[in-house]
Amino acid sequence: MFPNRNANQNKLSLLAELNHVSILGRLTRELPAFGLTTKIPVKAFSYTSDSAKPTIHEADNGSGSLLHREFCSKCGSGILEYGAAAANDFRYIMTGTLQDPGALPPKGEFFCAYRDKWMPEVPGIFHKEYLKD
């Protein structure tokens, strides 16, 4: 079960983001803690199969906000996430689940204040120390 990988990537305004936060690192099992997600409009997202429903997990993201995550119910891979503020508008797809993740390089970095010291800044994209900068 994966998101609809042919979601007309050329016609949508997509935003791939590199996030440096420990809660996302735990999800992506990355060391250091970062993950690459692609922001897509909720109306452009669908699953390819009705028979394999995702496993849903909701929890406080550490700041008092509820974070909704969906995982493959067969293998446990992370598929997407979104917070309450984006619930009606966007989904943040784990970029590695897309058919051609290299076609969507990051356009920005969030939570740069938490970037590991040895990790270089990605050139040519925007950088925010925190989400609301």
Mean pLDDT value of segment 122-129: 90
How far is 70 from 33, CA to CA, in rounded Å?
19
- 49, pLDDT greater than 50: yes
pLDDT value for 43: 93
**Parallel/antiparallel/unpaired status of strands 78-83 and 66-71:** antiparallel
Q: What pLDDT is attached to residue 80?
A: 93
**pLDDT-based confidence at 8, cuts 50/70/90?**
very low
Confidence (pTM): 0.71
Domain parsing of the chain, residue ranges: 15-127
Q: How far apart are CA 121 and CA 1, in angstroms?
A: 33
Q: How confident is the model over 57-104, as pLDDT tens digits? A: 998 877 788 899 999 888 888 899 999 889 999 999 998 888 888 888
Burial of 18 from C-beta contacts in 10 A (0-12 / 13-18 / 19+): buried
Grade residue 52 by pLDDT with cuts at 50, 70 and 90.
confident
Would you place residue 7 in the very low, low, confident or very high pLDDT band (cuts 50, 70, 90)?
very low
Can you give the pLDDT at residue 74? 85
* 10-43 residue pLDDT tens: 444 455 555 555 444 445 554 556 778 889 999 9
Pick one of 3.40.50, 1.10.3470, 2.60.120, 2.170.150 as the CATH number of 15-127.
2.170.150
